[in-house]
Every structure is written in structure tokens, then in C-alpha cells.
Amino acid sequence: MILFRLYDGIADHFPIRRMEWLMAVPAGLLSIGLTIQPDMFEVSPSFAILKAWANESTWAALCFALCCVRLLALTINGTFKRFKWSPAIRAAASLFGAFLWAEVTLGFVVSFLTGEGAFSAVAAWGTLSVAESMNVVQTWGDLKQSLRGEGKNA
């Protein structure tokens, strides 16, 4: 019974939340990658700035937290109507994600500009940063609707 309820809650909101679901992927995969390859920052000079800001395990923990909070909020969203905080959690996860991907992109930009890294990282991670910024606009709009009572568990 609960599995059907979870499925229905996810399926009902998936079309409008697909970018949020998608953005959980790089967070989860980067967390896994940094965990199974704890010397990742040593492999490429593109990571020099990120390494200066924090070690691999810290970045892995941040990405893991983002992935988990996002997946939890998206699963709850629409599935449990009485849980009124899912729009706020989704909005916070998007804001945290935008900040995280902007920091990663900035690290790659600085590495590129100082001749230590490749531009391809700027293009790839910058795209994720833009996508997450689009999520911020969507989720904060949903949160505003929810607070005004206009949305059905936005």
C-alpha cells in the first residue's frame, strides 16, 4: 500500500519536477566518485582550487547531503499531503545545490584562468549551475504559492 502511495506521489509530480530529480544525479555520482577515488583531486590540475577549499571527503559529504535531502523532499512532495514543509525543503535543496555547483564551477574557472585546468570542466559544471539556478526559481515560486495557500502541496 505504501509503495503504491509513494509511486503515485512521485509519478504525479515527476513531469514538473524532472529537473530536480535529474540534479540529484550529479550530486550522488560525485559523492560516490569522491568516496571511491579519494585522490580524485590529485588526478587532474582542474581540481586544484576545489582542493584548496576543502578535501575530497568534505566535498563528498556535501554532495551526499544534497542528494539525500533532495530525494527525500521530492519523494515526500505530493505523497504525504499533510507534510507542509516539502516545498520549503525543495527550495532549500535547490538553493544549496545552486551554491554548491556555483562553487564547483568557480573553482574550475579559476583553475582554467590560472592555466591549471581545462575549459571543458567550466562548460560541464557551469551547465549544472545554470540548471540548478532554474530549479531555484521554480522551487521558490512553488514555496510562495504554498505559503499563500494556492498550491496543493506545491
Give, in order, the Cα–Cα distances in Å from 10 to each of 45, 59, 146: 40, 28, 18
pLDDT digits (tens, 9 = 90+) for 55-102: 999 999 999 999 999 998 888 876 777 777 888 899 999 999 999 999
For the whole model, what pTM was predicted? 0.84
- The mean per-residue pLDDT over the stretch 6-31 comes to 89
Closest alpha carbon to 19 in 113, 142, 119: 142
Helix 86-113 / helix 119-148 crossing angle, nearest 10 deg: 160
Q: Where is average pLDDT lowest: 10-14, 23-27, 71-75? A: 10-14
Judge whether 61 and 34 are in contact, CB under 8 Å: no
Question: Is residue 146 classed as helix, strand or coil in its secondary structure?
Answer: helix
Closest alpha carbon to 72 in 9, 124, 125, 12: 9
- pLDDT above 70 as % of the chain: 95
SS3 letters across 7-54? HHHHHHHHHHHHHHHHHHHHHHHHHHHHHHCCCHHHHCHHHHHHHHHC
Long-range Cβ pairs for the range 8-17 (8 Å, 24+): 8/79, 9/75, 9/76, 9/77, 9/78, 9/79, 9/80, 10/74, 10/75, 10/78, 10/79, 12/78, 13/74, 13/77, 13/78, 16/138, 17/74, 17/77
